[in-house]
Amino acid sequence: MIPAQPKRPTAETKSELSALPEQIRAWAKELGFAALGITTADLDSEPGSDLDHLDNWLAAGFQGQMGWMADQRELRARPEALHPNTVTVISARMDYLPEPQEIMQANLDDPDRAYISRYALGRDYHKLIRKRLQKLADQIEAAVSALGYRVFCDSAPVLEKALARNAGLGWIGKHTLVLNREAGSWFFLGEIYLDKILPSDPPQTREHCGSCQSCIDICPTQAIVAPYKLDARRCISYLTIEHRGSIDEELRPLIGNRIFGCDDCQLVCPWNRYAQPTQEADFSPRHGLGNATLIELFAWDEATWDERTKGMALRRAGYVGWLRNLAIALGNAPSSENIQSALAARKNHPNEIVHEHVRWALSRHSE
């Protein structure tokens, strides 16, 4: 039996297609994206390539409990395996910096206040960006014949940083995030996989980290074990958000007051001097979470947590994770009667993970 032929990308005239990228960029601007680039769906697997880097990272076990990183390796490596007939990828950037960096730094430097990664203070970016990408895809679909596409924002196995770099949006810094000379790194990425060949943008081929290694030096847990190599098992973002269960006692004092994620490598990066605050009101901090005290947040019962974190990426760690992380931060805060009584009030928490971290925190205040 003759196997079915894969669907071929439909062909517009060359001049129609060559005009399309500029039109797409204009639509993206109207939808609130700061930049957009177009690249092919091919990812190289040669030694030293992005896929080689991914395989080495997985082989080292740096993914920790994120087993899906290995399970979905093939889908990540081959865009057409994730969405059939994908030949082109649009990568789009949306900035999220909600406030000047000095304000964030002041919050981080106050050990009685909770530090929450700035991307998680406002509305959940996944939905917002996917909706905007869908609108953009609708506009593209109306302009070309028979378009097959799928939109993504941190929701599926997509090698988003390599694709963003290939689309010319920036280079991958030593901290492993994408950064850009004009915009720094405080941005989300989203993608549209397309079955239509569009003219590609020039990839970013130069890196501009130079001899700087500030992000490596500042990392509180030394999770950037070498330039471009992050051991997630030590990374505070992973530990406070993705990791379930007990956090290694050796790492707890290094977490400080960071209760959800960590921005240190971005805060120190010289390229972020050029980062502009977001235009997106939805990314503004909710419920005063930009500088709330540890005690105040630790007092939230589950119903309050559930109600206040609705529609926020902040929910990802769950309520147990929320209390666990706050207990660690309270254990790291300067001793006070208020902190000790806040911890004592949860000393007999029925959840074993919370209970264990509260006991640890109390022991720090009786040393």
Nearer to ligand SF4 among residue 95 and residue 280 (C-beta): 95
| H/E segment holding residue 89 | strand 88-95
| H/E segment holding residue 320 | helix 318-332
Q: In the complex, which residue's CB is closest to ligand SF4?
A: 173
Nearer to ligand SF4 among residue 40 and residue 105 (C-beta): 105
Tell me how far apart the alpha carbons of residues 80 and 84 are, in angstroms, rounded to a whole number. 5
- 132 contacts 31 by C-beta, under 8 angstroms: yes
Minimal distance, residue 199 CB to ligand SF4, in Å: 30
Q: Largest alpha-carbon pair distance within the chain?
A: 79
Minimal distance, residue 165 CB to ligand SF4, in Å: 13
Q: Annotated catalytic, 44?
A: no
Residue 162: closest CA among 191, 198, 120:
191
Minimal distance, residue 285 CB to ligand SF4, in Å: 25
3 state SS of 224 = strand
Among 110, 154, 217, 264, which one carries the catalytic annotation? 154
Minimal distance, residue 229 CB to ligand SF4, in Å: 12
Tell me how far apart the alpha carbons of residues 350 and 138 are, in angstroms, rounded to a whole number. 49
Nearer to ligand SF4 among residue 113 and residue 174 (C-beta): 174
Tell me how far apart the alpha carbons of residues 121 and 108 are, in angstroms, rounded to a whole number. 14
- 195 contacts 79 by C-beta, under 8 angstroms: no
Q: Which residues bind ligand SF4 (CB under 6 A)?
A: 173-175, 179, 209, 212-215, 268-271
Nearer to ligand SF4 among residue 145 and residue 276 (C-beta): 276
Tell me which residues are annotated as active site: 154
